Amino acid sequence: MGVRILATLWLAFAVACSGAAPTEERGGSGEPAGAFRVDASRAPLQPDGPLRGISFGDRLRADGSIVRPRLGFTTEDTLVTAVVGLGADVAEGSTLTIAWYRLVGVDGREPLFSHEVAVGPGGLAFSEGVADGGLAPGLYETVAFLGDRQVRAPWVVQAVEASSRARAASALLRFELEPWEVPSAGESGWWDEGSAPAPEATPAGTCELSSILPGTVPMRDVKASVHWLGPCTELVLSATVSGPPVEIGSLHGFTNALGDVLPSGPYGQIDVCELPGGSDLPGTVVRFQVTGDATASLDYPLPDHSEALVVGIEADPADGSRVEAGDRIGLRALAMQVPPSQGIEVLYLDDGSELIGSVGNVSGSDRPIPCDLGRDFAALTAEYVVPADPPPVVEICGYATGFDGTTAEGCVRFFTGEVWTGTLRVEGRFGDPIDCVAVWEGEVRLSVGSDGTIVGDGEVRPGRSSCPADPSAGPIAIAGERGEGGFEVTLSRAGGHGCEAVFCFGLGPATIPLTGDATAGGTSEYDTGLGTVFVSTWSLECASCGRA
């Protein structure tokens, strides 16, 4: 077998997403707002024989490493690459199936596509999911099948919105207006270590070691490959954390006069927890040693990816639906970390005013425990009852905290009134008489409550300008009231966003008249009285009218 996996690969934690029937908790008579049931009986799926685990990132490099490995993506991403680690006991010519799913509601799963990949011993199989318009937000799962063996891993896509950057304007809702797409099939294939580019060969008169290249393989395997120069006939690769080293690879009886990378090794791969003193906690130092015709050693500390914590939520009805007081919303929340990491301490759900439910990691551990795969995953299912007299927007968020203090969140939003979406163009005329003109353009969304109260947000970007300095931009918040003839709103900077430029986006009141049953728009002028006039042009459409 060739020199395998020549660069570092950080692997994602594979988990199973099935559990026992939930228990239900209620208080008093009837069902209060936020009544919930919690299912903490989710368990991780261990590596299954030759299937070592699944990782995700932008793409697979020629050297076998992943570009930006992670479990969390955004709607700005257009490509996800799933990478499956394979053990040395995979038979040459085997067929690996990599299937992609979207998780729907509390317990549903929608198949998207699959790849069949011809594989052999070791190396990495990859499968790409593409979405030219940007990935649709939600929870996903990718499963690898090899005969009766399988591993699976969830991952999440979160929307990049003005509200995610400015919590004061959290009323932004998602609809079908965006060009987001669930991933469809891209490229697939098998990468083995013989595919990697060989180092430059330089003749040598004696056996010399040029490098030991360490890394990881899903889910907690460590690996190393050895490059050498000269007439090397006997090389043994071993590894340890503490205690006697364990042989993980060797080269016997072959002279490599030019230093070429050979199909026969030496290469080694082993579960770090099977080493003497082994631990998969970040900072654990694995010592790789080479003995034989030449000797060398390398200390490889496991990295810490605790900051890659991510939270995703699926709901039934779906995120962005219209709800009423008393409606039940089923929730499924997942928190995940890319190992090596410290682990997850707690995952909880709330609606901004009260706790819906909370749970620890699937192992129930209250501290990082070495070789505990369950510490990197937490799952919670709950049922939320929309309270009486709900706000225009019901926002439910999941929050996770890691043992190292790292935090992450993911939210879903529902509306109880009308939601309007559209565009905003603002022309700022500075000076009296006018010295210069600056233009801003962006997208806005407004939610109208049953009492006519308006909350909304948006994002503006600078357009053309004749001013001597660049105009400012950023997220905005919108508030106001709806009348019979339209909307009276006021714009403000969201989330403490300040004005750092001389020529700032115009803030203040605006009137937006109705132009139809489900359309509104027009031009409104606001004179600041300080020599500046802002002219705003709105074009809005009711995104919720007619929705159940």
Residue-wise pLDDT tens digits, 78-116:
999 999 988 888 999 999 999 999 999 888 889 999 999
Pick the more confident residue, 169 or 63. 63
| Predicted local confidence at residue 89, as pLDDT | 86
**pLDDT tens digits, 345-362:** 999 999 999 999 999 999
Does domain 42-194 bear CATH number 1.20.120? no
Q: Which fold has domain 198-301?
A: Immunoglobulin-like (2.60.40)
DSSP state of 131: -
Q: How far is CA 380 from CA 37, 192, 323, 348, 358, in A?
A: 9, 38, 22, 8, 7
Contact present, 311 and 410 (Cβ < 8 Å):
yes
Mean pLDDT to the nearest integer, 509-522: 93
Place of tokens 């993980």: 248
Annotate 200-210 with b (16+ C-beta within 10 A) or e (fewer). eeeebeebbbb
Burial class (CB in 10 A: 0-12, 13-18, 19+), 521: middle
Mean pLDDT on 257-286: 78
Residues forming beta bridges with residue 443, ordered by sequence position: 423, 459
CB of 96 closer than 8 Å to CB of 189: no
pLDDT digits (tens, 9 = 90+) for 445-458: 888 887 888 988 88
What per-residue confidence (pLDDT) applies to 274?
Answer: 92
**Contact, 91 vs 120, CB < 8 A?**
yes
What mean pLDDT, rounded, does the chain reach? 80
The predicted model gives 125-132 an average pLDDT of 95
| Token pair in block for residue 348 | 């909880």
CATH of 418-542, one of 3.30.70, 1.20.120, 2.40.128, 2.40.50: 2.40.128
CA dihedral 183, 66, 162, 418 (to 10 degrees): 20
Query: For residues 198 and 180, what is the distance between their CA atoms, to the nearest angstrom?
Result: 40
**Residue 256 clears pLDDT 90, i.e. is over it:** no
A 10 A CB-CB count for 476 gives 26
Tokens 């509200």 correspond to 163
Looking at residue 533, its pLDDT comes to 86
Tell me the Cα Rg of the chain.
28
Residue from 298, 301, 329 nearest 213 by CA: 298
pLDDT digits (tens, 9 = 90+) for 171-206: 333 444 457 899 999 999 998 765 555 555 555 567
Mean pLDDT confidence for 271-299: 94
State the pLDDT at residue 254: 52
Q: What percent of the chain has pLDDT over 90?
A: 41
Confidence grade of residue 41 (pLDDT, cut at 50, 70, 90): very low
Look up the pTM and report it: 0.72
Which two tokens mark 462? Answer: 């600078």
Residue 465 pLDDT: 83
The pLDDT of residue 507 is 67
Task: Establish whether domains 42-194 and 198-301 are of one fold.
Answer: yes
Res 282: pLDDT: 95
Quote the pLDDT of residue 415.
83
The CA-CA-CA angle for residues 290, 293, 297, to 5°, reads 20
3-state secondary structure at position 28: coil
Burial class from Cβ neighbours inside 10 Å (0-12, 13-18, 19+) for residue 437 reads middle
How far is the C-alpha of 128 from the C-alpha of 115, rounded, in Å?
A: 9
Greater confidence, 98 or 543?
98
Q: What are phi and psi of 396, to 5 degrees?
A: -115, 125
- Length of the chain equals 548
Q: How confident is the model at residue 262 (pLDDT cuts 50, 70, 90)?
A: very low
Identify which of 108, 80, 83 has the alpha carbon closest to the alpha carbon of residue 96.
Answer: 83
Higher pLDDT, 205 or 159: 159
Element (H, E) at 162: helix 162-165
Q: Is the pLDDT of residue 23 over 70?
A: no
Q: Where are the domains of the chain?
A: 42-194, 198-301, 418-542
Give the Cβ contact number of residue 498 at 10 Å.
Answer: 9
